[in-house]
A and B are shown apart, each in its own frame.
Chain A
Amino acid sequence: MSGAVGEALIEVADVEKVFSVRRKAGRLRRVRQEVRAVEGLTFTVPRGEMVGYIGPNGAGKSTTIKMLTGILTPSGGRLRVAGLDPSRERTRLARRIGVVFGQRTTLWWDLPLKDSYELVRRMYRVPDAAYRANRERCVELLDLGPLLDVPVRQLSLGQRMRGDIAAALLHDPEVLYLDEPTIGLDVISKAKVREFLREVNTERGTTVLLTTHDLTDIEQLCRRVMVIDHGRLVYDGRLDGLRAAGEGERTLVVDLERELPPIDGLPGARTVKVAGPRQWLAFPAGQSAAPLVAAVAARYPLVDLSIREPDIEDVIARLYAGGVPGVAAPPAAGR
């Protein structure tokens, strides 16, 4: 692999994408309407980093990924990946990047998984030794051994996704883009995918840009997170900073021995819901849960407890409503 760790591998400067769509207006009239999928997008990703890219549906995540692979040209701004202009040099770039679109497969539907890998090897002209080593590693870490001879159409969604991720890495890409790789996956597949991505990033030094709307993916994998909403980057920095910036609340769910009046008088927490012996306490995301748990346990007959993280939609809603610091933060903020 060429280039040093830390050098900017992905550079996005003031990028914009405007789609023009035709809408029905009245019975026969059709009007052209502009949809700004992405605007003023600016960030850089250094080589070797793993970045989470989150945002609600329709925020512009897939549009960004498509522009970074070259299958969509930006309407404005400047984009460079590994020094190449993606849409001008799509095929050259394709040999250096790997892409996984969670909803779309590149595997050959009716043939065994291993046949698709064989085609990838030829398509990217992967040298034999590298191909064998990469395939072996992916098969082992993603647990693909028993699936290699199974036709792709018979794989479960989670198995297929693991198969697709392996296919994207056989040619040793410098960057791996994943667009919603964990959407709809079962818990075990999710865990395997996450573990694998961590390995790819730390051991192989592959730069990873991961799109998701599942905050857990980011929590387990990425130190840096970028939040996009309505086509604009609203946060770029560390994950814990996002929580604080969003003033999100976490929820402590406690199961008591019996039905009791709402828990009261705990500093920094308020009871938001009671259902039988179960109660929900909200507290600021930036605050540690330990003192709160200790206080509840000391005063109440506690049977069980769990903590719920603020969901991302919630955090983003707060990011917007509050005009909190961190909104439109400079690209390197918090790193």
Chain B
Amino acid sequence: MLYTAVAAGGFRRYATYRVATAAGVFTNTVFGFIVAYSYIALWNERPHLGGYDQAQALTFAWTGQALLAATAMMAGGGIAELQERIRNGDIAVDLHRPADLQSWWLAADLGRAGFQLIGRGVVPMAVGACFFDLALPGEAWTWGLFLLSAGLAVVVSFALRYLVAVASFWLLDGSGLAVISGLAAMFFSGMVLPLRIFPDGFGQVAQLLPWAALLQVPADVLLGARTGGAVVRGLVFQAGWAVVLLALGRLMQSAATRKVVVHGG
């Protein structure tokens, strides 16, 4: 299949950046320690903040570092390249080919995320588990559900970044939007602080926004704050946003295609 080959290419491509991967693992680990010690201070002051005990809070911190690269929250991930192709007009060539643009980039991004989940996620998580007392599940199926949720997190993250990239068809400079969207993702995913610790109204709204699908939901699945039906609801929440945002991306993509084909860009 074409798109599996594209995904495999995305995986291999990031696998070739060995130095960048090593540097990223180092950064994620260092930040893991910083965040973990901040959380220890915070949870000593306010035990059971947001309903998490300290082990769960630390698990949240390390899960965030493990998923940071895969969900490409800060940088555009592979999508920055799409934005550049739109900006310089290379995108016209892509439109000519008998392949769907969104599916192509989704496949490439899933390949990238697959590599980064392993290459950038496993080591920080393992280091965190060595140095701190984490609330990691013992049963394999909880890990399985976490991986499923992490996969959906990547899809939602892609769908959001794709919207930002396609917006470059109308913006003179899409980099501002990319920065804003990155900041929104960092905050509303729970990367800065878990969304559950925010005051009721704000916290609840934040947990309904699509960014919650990036970290808050998968972390809660892993650290046991979501069990049983809550896991299923979490996954449905993620899948729902994935479908909505991908559909929105398609709409924007066809409008953009019309614009290119009629107005030449």
Q: What residues make up the interface of A, taking CB atoms closer than 8 Å to B?
A: 19-20, 63, 66, 69-73, 87, 90-91, 94-95, 99, 101, 104-106, 108-111, 115, 118-119, 122-124, 151
Contacts and interface: CB of A to CB of B under 8 A. Distances in A.
Interface string B45-67: 00000000000000000000000
B5 A118 contact: yes
Contact of B9 (A63, A72, A91, A119): A119
Contacts of B16: 110, 151
B6 A119 contact: yes
Contacts of B96: 69-71, 90, 94, 99
6 contacts: A19-B263, A71-B95, A99-B96, A111-B12, A119-B6, A123-B99
B98 A123 contact: yes
Given A119-B5, A151-B16, A72 B93 contact: no
Interface string B1-31: 1100110010011001000000000000000
Given A104-B89, A123-B99, 7 more contacts: A19-B264, A66-B92, A66-B264, A71-B95, A71-B261, A72-B92, A119-B2
B12 A71 contact: no
Interface in B76-111: 81, 89-90, 92-99
Contacts of A101: 93
B97 to A, nearest CB: 6
Contacts of B12: 111, 115
Contacts of B260: 71-72
B233 to A, nearest CB: 38
B262 interface: yes
A72 B97 contact: no
A94 B2 contact: no
Interface string B106-130: 0000000000000000000000000
Contacts of B261: 70-73, 87, 90
Interface centre among B6, B13, B92, B98 (most CB of A within 10 A): B98
Given A119-B5, A122-B5, A110 B13 contact: yes
Contacts of B97: 94, 106, 123
A60 to B, nearest CB: 12
Nearest to B17: A110
A94 B93 contact: no
A119 B99 CA distance: 11
A125 to B, nearest CB: 9
A109 B97 CA distance: 17
Interface residues of B, number: 24
A91 B98 contact: yes
A58 to B, nearest CB: 13
Contact of A111 (B13, B93, B95): B13
Interface string B174-189: 0000000000000000
Contact of B90 (A69, A87, A104, A115): A104
Contacts of A109: 81
A19 B260 CA distance: 11
Nearest to B4: A122
Contacts of B264: 19, 63, 66, 72
A71 B98 contact: no
Nearest to B90: A104
A310 to B, nearest CB: 32
Contact of B263 (A20, A95, A105, A111): A20
B9 A108 contact: yes
Contact of A71 (B1, B92, B99): B92
B2 to A, nearest CB: 4
Given A19-B263, A122-B2, A106 B94 contact: yes
B72 to A, nearest CB: 16
A123 B9 contact: no
Interface string B150-161: 000000000000
A69 B97 CA distance: 10
Contacts of B13: 108, 110-111
A119 B2 CA distance: 7
Nearest to B3: A122
A19 B263 CA distance: 6
Nearest to B258: A73
B93 A104 contact: yes
Which A-B residue pairs are the 5 nearest by beta carbons? A122-B2, A110-B13, A104-B90, A94-B98, A91-B98
A183 to B, nearest CB: 16
Interface centre among B16, B90, B94, B261 (most CB of A within 10 A): B261
A124 B6 contact: no
A123 B93 contact: no
B98 A111 contact: no
Nearest to A99: B96
A87 B262 CA distance: 9
Contacts of A115: 9, 12
Nearest to A151: B16
B90 A111 contact: no
